[in-house]
Structures are given as structure tokens and as C-alpha cells.
Structure 1
Amino acid sequence: MRRESENISIFSITSTSFILVLGNSMLIPVLPEIRHDLHLTQVQASLILSIFSIAGAVTIPFIGYLSDRFSRKHIILASLLLYGIGGLVSGTASILQTSFSFEGIIFGRVLQGIGSAGTAPIAMAIVADLFSGSKQLKVLSLMETTNSMGKVVSPLIGALIALFMWYYIFFVFPLACSILFILFYFYVNDEASSSEKLVFKKYVSHLAGVMKENKFYLLTSYSAGALCLFLLFGILFYSSDRLESQFETHGFMNGVILSFPLLFLTVASFLTGNVIGKFSNYINRILIVNFLLLSLFLLVIMLNESLWWTILIISFISTSIGIVLPCMNAIITNSVRKEARGFVTALYGSVRFVGIALGPIAFGYFMEVSISTKFMLSSLLCLIQAVLCFFYLNKKDKNISFQTIINWFSIFHIPSRKKQRG
């Protein structure tokens, strides 16, 4: 019975990633219908998506403080409640279809964005509080797998619901949040996350010390996570546009084709979670190798413009990203002590939101300027990230030397024999 309860607890914690992804991905297929029925401009329609990420990115650091100051479980429960209420507000405004329907949808989406800030990012801190060792790594990787799976299925769910009526989508949020709220309330134990209740001034002072002590380590970790999601959503945006403009596929078919690379992302995250405990000493090397592969794939994708070549290379890119993200979750959650963990993981969630928001914007801009420049700059960013990981995620090797670089490329180190005294 205890094992069953723990499994439900893990399911509840990891499901926060799925709920987070639903916020934007499920609405993507129905945006044209929303724009048409409410007579919105393209900018207004895109704001329905972007306001969610903006509200989440701005709110996450404050939610992180609250989770360190109070109970993480209670913060997540309150966030799920707000997330569901936001869905009800947007859904009601959609059904009424008055002159203020757009404003009502936006208000609901802001509430959802604020609520999303207290879901998966805070759940990562709970995982680090409740679990340790290989079990912790597996649960963190399962969170990333659930997140990836959400990216695959949520657009399909949205497209299917839209076959009946598009505004029904908003009512999926309160339903999903209610189920998760009940599971979290009864099955997630938060006692291990309770820590010293720091007053705000002391808390800020403590965080300043943490950030100063680990500035390069944390900044490199944050940039790695943000870059992965920047690339993923930027390339998906680029691919979706190419599918429609060059290969003349539309709507549901676009979602089916793009689900293949996202399946690679999901499988890679899942497999990484199962083996990462055995290779915990080599996480940094895994990161560097995959950023180098990403740099290569972003150049190789330009060699051929056929549909299947593009999908194949994007699948390779998704696989590398699927390997990197669980590793980054493990690094972030174990980078600082428990009393600052909520803020650090929340800030990581914030920069992930920023990566998601900037990817389509940057790729869309360079699609009008120069496609080759877009891929070459992205490749360069991955190369720079690999270098940063080498120099700043090597906590054991604080003084990097030429010999360190030689040793790095040797997986099996031959221990030196000490001279025996006669």
C-alpha cells in the first residue's frame, strides 16, 4: 500500500508538467478559429498565447520565494486553483461572445499564466526535497518526459475538441486542475520541504549570496535550458510554416507530422531518466556532447530542403534536447541548499518560459531575412553553450588546464600508482 501511495504521489508531481504544457500547446490548432469568430487581428490572436508565457515568466520568481517561505504543496494547490479559475473565466468570455470577449479571455489567460508559475517549477523543488540519488534523477526525468508527452498530445487534443466547438478547450483546464488538485492534496507529503522560515530581507540577502557564489554555474545552467526550448519551439514554428507554405499541409495533418520529432523528444527524455543514475558522474560530458551535436544538426539541416530530410534532422535535434533537459533538471535542483531551492528552480522555470516565447519570434524574424543565417547563428549558440558547460559546470575541476582537457576525453581514467617506499 505504501508503494502504491508513493507511485500516486510521483504521478501527481510529474503531472504538473503536463498541466503546464496544456496552457499553450492545446490552443495552437484553434487560434485561426478563435481569430475568425471573434474578429481578431493576427497580433491579438497571438497575444492569447504569449500573455500566458509572459505572466508566468514574471510571476515565477515571486512564487519561488513563497514556496521557500511557506509550504510548497500549498503553493502548488493554490496555483492549480488559480489555473482552473483562469480557464473558467476565458471559457465563459468565449461563450458569451460580447464586445469584451477578447479582454475576458486575456484576463483569464493572465490568471492561468500566474497559476502556471506555481506548478512544474515548484514541483521540481518538491522532488529534490522528497527524493535523493537515482530515485530523484528518475522522477525529475519523468517530469521532463511528461512535459514532452504533453507537447505531443496537447495539440491533437485541442484539434479534436475544436471539431465540436473551440471554446470547450478552456473548460479542459478546470477539469484537469481539479483532478490534480485532489491527487496532490491527498497523496503528496510536503513535510520534507518545510525549512527555516526566513523573513524577506534575510531571504534576499541569502539569495544574493547564493547567486554570487554560484553565478557562472547557475547562469550556464539557465542558458542551457532556455537555449534548448528556444531551439525547440523556434524550429517547430519554422517547420509548421514550411509545411503549410511549401508542402501545402494544413491543420490536423501538421500536428500529426510534427508529432514525430516530439515523440523522439519524449522517448529520449524517458530513456535518459532510466539510465541517468548510472552516469551521474558524466552528466556534464553528456551535455557537452549533445550541444556539439545540436550545433552540427543545425548546419546539416540546410543541406537538403525535402520534407522528410527536414523531419529527420528535426527528430535528431529533438532527441538531443530530450537528453539535455532531464540532465539540466538534475543539475538545477541539486545546485543549492534546500532553503533557496524553490527560488532557483522557479527562476529556471522562468528562463524556460522566456526561451519558449523568444524562439518563434527570432525564427520568424530570420525567416524573412535569411534562413541560412538563422541556422548558422543557432549553431554558433550551441557551440558557445558547449564551451560554457565545459568551463562552468565542471565543479570538480575549478582550475581548467590543458591536462584537464585531455583527461576529459578519456572516459576511463588510469589511476596513477604511488611509489612504494622500501
Structure 2
Amino acid sequence: MAMELINREELLNGKKKNKWALIAIASIPLIMTLGNSMLIPILPLMEKQLHISKLQSSYIITVYSIVAIFLIPIAGFLSDKYGRKVVIIPSLILTGIGGILSGWAAWELDNAFIWIIIGRILQGIGAAGAFPIVLPLVGDLYKKEEDVSSSLGIIETANTLGKVLSPILGALIAGVIWYLPFFAIPIFCIISLILIMLCVKKPKDDDHQLSFGRFVKNTKKIFSEHWKWLMAVFIIGAIIMFILFGLLFYLSSILEDKYGYDGVKKGFLLAIPLAALCIASFVTGKIIKDNLKKMKWITFFGMILTGVSVAATMFSDRFIYLIVIILFCGIGIGASLPCLDAILTQSIEKEMRGTITSIFSSMRFAGVAAGPPIVALLMKGNISSMVILLTILSAVAALLAFKAIKPKRGKKVGEMDPVLE
């Protein structure tokens, strides 16, 4: 009886520690998202203050992601070799330094644009070493696959919550002084750094002894056996973020240019579809558990809903109609993301989890980088070309979700690899 009470107490203490560790880990995607998305609603203001074009303003978002694309796989390998916290902590520090440089340039320099871009490059390097390591760290933290899926839903919710808060926070802070959002990022990084150092402990049996030779051999083996479903997940992730950030850029521009909404009002309006995305991510994380079949079909129907919603924007550009349509688009995207996270995290061995999930993160950043500038170019012509492109991409993502993963009935992710045609 006494042993049962001790074991129960240890279990409760373990759950409490994991809860705080999860909060600390979730702060990373929240802050990294704020560091990028917070600038989207104030891009038109930056264009005026810095005397730059719409395309140049999109580079402030894009350069952050382009740098991360190339460095994320390296960070994934380093986290598999040396440990997750060893990579995350200096990355958060570097992200903060980048924010300080961008803010200082905007405050003090006449020709600030190039220095802002350099600061954003530093932030991109920091983001490469922090955000992608979150997924394997959650996988390391929990033993049960069901707990991993639920926690990944919370991680995506935190990521999306950052997108919900970012337009409001960005508008509020920029309402004081337009460049203050740059200085807000280091403050957020310090908070996350303290939480990670205090709350996230190294999991038991967490031995990172991956040599470069074994890394190359394991990577080749994984891709030779599973390249079809892995490439499908990677491409879907890139398409989702391309659509999301492209639509956010479009909505931010049209709300200000056509409807005259700016500042906090525009921030709240941008937050509506993002809130739907956030709720959908949280609910999906609870629903999917460790069931691969659910993940496949939720992703498929999520992308169908996204495509239909994007296509519907062609029929009217009335204010309420546009907000509602993009809200449904947010639900489709929000439902799909936790499924993709869970498929990867639960299907890859712990030793290689950081590397493979980092490649997925790199593809997502590629979508983030490409979305705003391509949409900015398409907005110069007929808006229908943008709608057609995003609809086709949604259809491609839905087709990949349908064709790439063929789960066997009654099997769980933890017991099997995805079965391919």
C-alpha cells in the first residue's frame, strides 16, 4: 500500500514537471512566431517610414525564413548529436541580439533597411536552432505516443496563438513607436530562455552519441525506405505555410488599402482567422491521439476545406464575406498541422528525430519565405491569379495526403510505419 502511494506521488510529480516543461517548450514557437508574424500588420507602416516598396517590405519577413531554411537541418543534426538544450539556448540568445540590432537601426540610422535585414538574418539563424528542435524535444519528453500527439497539438496551438496575438501586439506596440516591435523580441526571448533553463530537464536515457557517419547512413536508410510519405509530409507542410503567410500578407494589405483599417483594429481583424486556426490545432491534437488513420483523413479534409475557402474568395471581396472565408481557411490549416507533426514525430526513431523533423521545419520555413513576395507580385495584376495558385496548391496537398499514407486498419503509428502504394 505504501509503495502504491509512493508510486502514485512520483507519477503526479512527474506529470507536474512535464506540464511545466511543456509550457516552457511551447514558449519557443510562441515567441518565434511573434518575432515574425508581429511585423506583418505593420509592413505598410514600415514602407512609409523606411521609404521602401511593398516587395522590399516583404523581404523583412522572407529573409528571416530563407536563412532558417538552410540552417535548420544543421541544427537538427547538432541537437541529435549534442542534445536539444545545447542548441536551443544559444539560439534564443542570438534571436534576441538580432531583434536589438534591427530595432537600433530603425531608431538611429537614416538608411536603416539594410541593417534591419542583417538583424533579421541573425534572428533567422536563431530561429533555425530553436523552433525546429521543439518537435523532437516533445517526443523525447513523453513515453506514450498518445501523450506526444496531445502535446504536439498544444505546441501547434502555441505556434498559432503567436499568430493570433502577433497582429494585435504588433499594432499596439507600433502604435507607441513604429520600431518598438523589434525591441519586444529580445524581451520575449529572455522569458523563454529562463523557462527552458529552469523547467526542461534532460530526459532519462537521453544519450546523444550520433556521429556524422552514422547520421549520413541513417538518413539514407530512412529516405530510401520511406521517401514517398516523408516527401509528401514535407511538401504539404511547405504548401500550408505558403498559403497561410500569403493570405495574411494579402489580408493585411487589403484591410488597409481598400477598407482603411490600420493599427489595432486591423490587428484584431487579422486575429479572427488565426484564432480559428489556433482552436482547430488544439482540438485536433486531442482527437488524433496516436491514430494514423485519423491523421491522414483530417489532413486530407483540412486541405480540401482550405482549397474551397481560397477559391471562394474569387466570388466577392466584401469585408465580412472575406473574413469568414479566410476563417474557414484557418480551420483547415489548423486541423492539418498537428497531424503532420505527429506523423513525423511518432514514426521516426529518437536518434534521428531531430534531423527529420528539422527538415520538415525547413520546408515550412520555405513556405513562409515564398508566400509574401509571390503574393505581393501577384497582387500587382489580377487577384484571380493569386486565388488560382493557392487553390491549386491546396488541391496538390490534399492529393498528397490522400495518396501517400495508407494505414492498415487497427494499427497505431507507434506500431507501424506508414504503408505506401
Q: TM-score, normalised by structure 1?
A: 0.88
Q: Distance in 1 between matches of 2:264 and 2:336?
A: 29
From 353, 361, 374, give the equivalent of 1:341.
Answer: 353
Q: What do the CA deviations read for 1:289-332 (whole angstroms, capped 9, x no partner)? A: 22222232233332333221111111111101110011111012
Q: How far did 1:16 drift?
A: 0.8
Q: How far did 1:4 drift?
A: 3.2
Q: Report the equivalent of 2:120.
A: 109
Contact 1:72 1:193 in 2 (8 A): no
Q: Report the equivalent of 2:244.
A: 232
1:390 matched to 2:402? The reply is yes
Q: Percent of counterpart pairs with the same letter?
A: 37
Q: Report the equivalent of 1:154.
A: 166
Q: Distance in 2 between matches of 1:382 and 1:25?
A: 22
Q: What do the CA deviations read for 1:71-115 (whole angstroms, capped 9, x no partner)? A: 11111111111111222222333333255x444333222111100
Q: Distance in 2 between matches of 1:113 and 1:128?
A: 24
Q: Report the equivalent of 1:261.
A: 273
Q: How far did 1:184 drift?
A: 0.7
Q: Distance in 2 between matches of 1:186 and 1:291?
A: 39
Q: How far did 1:44 drift?
A: 4.4
From 355, 365, 382, give the equivalent of 2:367.
Answer: 355
From 178, 199, 206, give the equivalent of 2:211.
Answer: 199
Contact 1:127 1:139 in 2 (8 A): yes
Q: Report the equivalent of 1:299.
A: 311
Q: Distance in 1 between matches of 2:305 and 2:44?
A: 36
1:9 matched to 2:21? The reply is yes
3-state DSSP of counterpart to 1:368: coil
Contact 2:153 2:338 in 1 (8 A): yes
Deviates more, 1:234-243 or 1:207-216: 234-243
Contact 1:14 1:143 in 2 (8 A): yes
**Any unmatched runs of 5+ in structure 2?**
1-12, 409-417
Q: What is the aligned residue count?
A: 399
Q: Distance in 2 between matches of 1:81 and 1:193?
A: 28
1:329 matched to 2:333? The reply is no
Q: Distance in 1 between matches of 2:18 and 2:291?
A: 25
Contact 2:63 2:369 in 1 (8 A): no
Q: How far did 1:144 drift?
A: 0.6
From 289, 306, 311, give the equivalent of 1:277.
Answer: 289
From 101, 115, 122, give the equivalent of 2:133.
Answer: 122
Q: Distance in 1 between matches of 2:390 and 2:128?
A: 28
Q: Distance in 2 between matches of 1:54 and 1:94?
A: 22
Which residues of 2 match residues 44-59 of structure 1 at below 5 A?
44-59=56-71
Contact 2:99 2:120 in 1 (8 A): yes
Contact 1:296 1:379 in 2 (8 A): yes
User: Are the structure 2 counterparts of residues 216 and 246 from structure 1 closer, same or farther at C-alpha, using a change threshold of 3 Å?
Assistant: same
Q: Distance in 2 between matches of 1:187 and 1:269?
A: 24
Q: What do the CA deviations read for 1:163-218 (whole angstroms, capped 9, x no partner)? A: 22233322222221112111111211223473452222331222122122111111
Deviates more, 1:390-399 or 1:144-153: 390-399
Q: Report the equivalent of 1:311.
A: 323
3-state DSSP of counterpart to 1:394: coil
3-state DSSP of counterpart to 1:350: helix
Contact 1:130 1:193 in 2 (8 A): no
Q: How far did 1:339 drift?
A: 1.5
Contact 2:276 2:330 in 1 (8 A): yes
Query: Aligned letter for 1:179?
Result: I
Contact 1:126 1:190 in 2 (8 A): no
User: Are the structure 2 counterparts of residues 52 and 324 from structure 1 closer, same or farther at C-alpha, using a change threshold of 3 Å?
Assistant: same
Q: Distance in 2 between matches of 1:145 and 1:207?
A: 29
User: Are the structure 2 counterparts of residues 193 and 82 from structure 1 closer, same or farther at C-alpha, using a change threshold of 3 Å?
Assistant: farther
Which residues of 2 match residues 24-39 of structure 1 at below 5 A?
24-39=36-51
Contact 2:302 2:331 in 1 (8 A): no
Contact 2:292 2:407 in 1 (8 A): no
Deviates more, 1:234-243 or 1:34-43: 34-43
1:67 matched to 2:79? The reply is yes
Q: How far did 1:259 drift?
A: 1.4
3-state DSSP of counterpart to 1:214: helix
Contact 2:62 2:372 in 1 (8 A): no
Q: TM-score, normalised by structure 2?
A: 0.88
1:96 matched to 2:95? The reply is no
Query: Aligned letter for 2:83?
Result: S
Query: Aligned letter for 2:131?
Result: A
Q: What's the Cα RMSD here?
A: 2.2
Deviates more, 1:234-243 or 1:60-69: 234-243
From 167, 170, 179, give the equivalent of 2:191.
Answer: 179
3-state DSSP of counterpart to 2:210: coil
User: Are the structure 2 counterparts of residues 89 and 381 from structure 1 closer, same or farther at C-alpha, using a change threshold of 3 Å?
Assistant: closer
Q: How far did 1:43 drift?
A: 4.8
Q: Report the equivalent of 1:219.
A: 231
Contact 1:67 1:122 in 2 (8 A): yes
Q: Distance in 2 between matches of 1:218 and 1:124?
A: 16
Q: How far did 1:34 drift?
A: 4.0
- The structure that has the greater radius of gyration is 1
Q: What do the CA deviations read for 1:113-170 (whole angstroms, capped 9, x no partner)? A: 1001122210111111111322111110111111111111112112211222233322
